[in-house]
């Protein structure tokens, strides 16, 4: 234990037992679940999750942490460590290689790449049963924000089109070593069932959302000028004079379907 935490890897190790127990209880892994942890660090969450599930696959980028993790897991359960950047791991293929349709993800995420990790998970949502993540509290607020809220944006729309977003509880900086400069929160994400998913190409939805929020002060007619004219916006049943922050996630899907020739 007690490796010197590396800032460049976003290492803040959770040490407060109460929060560790609450995360494990919220996830409630059972023997037979295919549990995958992102960024196991020194194993604060890994070991109790492993004890509950019997086996666990952990994806860790920092080579120096791997021998310690392996040693601590001995006798607790079957730990498989993938030494990789999680953004390069095909989660669908991972589930497939274990012969299960969907995996259960957990992690106290490295905050410096939390948004890319969330988008990566959304891309693989069909292979995921649920996710329990520790994130910056402000990020959880953005993920769960409703239209009209100041923090409603690209992350809110993309996450809510793919998952049910359930903020669970806050975690103070003192629960980590070293303490981060921000408050944290734990969130549960449950991918929506197929019949609730939209049928527009995801890249297209992403491009519209990005364009709309890229210029959030402008009306949609202005922000989307490159891809949609005002008539097309109206045909999608959206007011061209509205601003992106007032639209529901489903409005963006209709706008994406109305688009032709979107930039990649
Ligand atoms: N789970 C541990 C805990 O709660 O104490 C550590 C959490 S720490 C906030 C984030 C962990 O993610 C570190 O172990 C770090 O090395 C790892 N990490 C950072 N970037 C990563 C990446 N791109 N892919 C996989 N793991 C990464």
Residue 155 has pLDDT above 50, yes or no: yes
Residue 10 annotated as binding site: no
Ligand 1 pocket mutation pick from 12, 15, 39 by most atoms within 8 angstroms of CB: 39
Say what angle helices 154-162 and 249-258 make with each other, to 10 degrees: 90
Helices (H), 63-214: 66-73, 91-97, 114-123, 137-144, 154-162, 202-214
Residue 85 annotated as binding site: yes
* Tens of pLDDT, residues 109-133: 999 999 999 999 999 999 999 999 9
Which residues are paired to 227 by β-bridges? none
Which atom of ligand 1 approaches the CA of 13 most closely? 5
98 CB-contact burial (10 Å; exposed 0-12 / middle 13-18 / buried 19+):
middle
* Tens of pLDDT, residues 80-105: 999 999 999 999 999 999 999 899 99
Verify whether ligand 1 is closer than 6 Å to residue 23 (CB atom). no
175 CB-contact burial (10 Å; exposed 0-12 / middle 13-18 / buried 19+):
buried
| pTM (two decimals) | 0.95
- SS3 for 185? strand
- SS3 for 144? helix
- SS3 for 156? helix
Verify whether ligand 1 is closer than 6 Å to residue 39 (CB atom). yes
Verify whether ligand 1 is closer than 6 Å to residue 48 (CB atom). no
Residue 143 has pLDDT above 50, yes or no: yes
User: Could you give the angle at the alpha carbon of 60 between the alpha carbons of 153 and 19, nearest 5°?
Assistant: 65
Cα torsion 51, 127, 116, 205 to 10°: value is -150
Q: Running DSSP on this structure, what letter comes out for residue 218?
A: S
Q: How far is the CA of 40 from the centre of ligand 1 (A)?
A: 6
- Cβ–Cβ < 8 Å for 54, 78: yes
* Tens of pLDDT, residues 19-78: 999 999 999 999 999 999 999 999 999 999 999 999 999 999 999 999 999 999 999 999
Q: Which domains does the chain have, with CATH numbers?
A: 7-196 (3.40.50.150), 202-261 (1.10.8.100)
Q: Running DSSP on this structure, what letter comes out for residue 261?
A: S
Residue 47 annotated as binding site: no
Verify whether ligand 1 is closer than 6 Å to residue 41 (CB atom). yes
Say what angle helices 154-162 and 202-214 make with each other, to 10 degrees: 160
Residue 225 has pLDDT above 50, yes or no: yes
Verify whether ligand 1 is closer than 6 Å to residue 43 (CB atom). no
Q: How far is the CA of 109 from the centre of ligand 1 (A)?
A: 6
Verify whether ligand 1 is closer than 6 Å to residue 14 (CB atom). yes
Verify whether ligand 1 is closer than 6 Å to residue 60 (CB atom). yes
């Amino acid at each position: 234990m007690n490796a010197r935490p590396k800032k460049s890897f976003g290492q803040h190790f959770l040490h407060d037992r109460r929060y560790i127990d609450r995360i494990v209880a919220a996830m409630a892994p059972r023997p037979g679940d295919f549990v995958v942890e992102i960024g196991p660090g020194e194993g604060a969450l890994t070991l109790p999750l492993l004890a509950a599930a019997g086996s666990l696959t952990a994806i860790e980028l920092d080579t120096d942490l791997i021998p310690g993790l392996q040693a601590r897991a001995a006798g607790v359960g079957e730990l498989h460590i993938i030494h990789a950047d999680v953004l390069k791991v095909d989660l669908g293929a991972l589930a497939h290689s274990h012969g299960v349709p969907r995996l259960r993800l957990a992690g106290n995420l490295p905050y410096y790449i939390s948004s890319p990790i969330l988008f990566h998970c959304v891309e693989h949502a069909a292979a995921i049963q649920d996710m329990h993540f520790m994130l910056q509290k402000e990020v959880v607020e953005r993920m769960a924000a409703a239209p009209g809220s100041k923090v409603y944006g690209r992350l809110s729309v993309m996450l809510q089109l793919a998952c049910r977003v359930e903020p669970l509880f806050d975690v103070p900086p003192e629960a980590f070593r070293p303490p981060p400069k921000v408050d944290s929160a734990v969130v549960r994400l449950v991918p929506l069932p197929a019949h609730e998913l939209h049928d527009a190409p995801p890249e297209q939805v992403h491009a519209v959302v990005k364009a709309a929020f890229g210029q959030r002060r402008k009306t949609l007619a202005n922000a989307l000028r490159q891809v949609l004219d005002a008539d097309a916006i109206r045909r999608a049943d959206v007011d061209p004079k509205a601003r992106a922050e007032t639209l529901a996630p489903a409005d963006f899907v209709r706008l994406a379907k109305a688009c032709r020739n979107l930039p990649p």
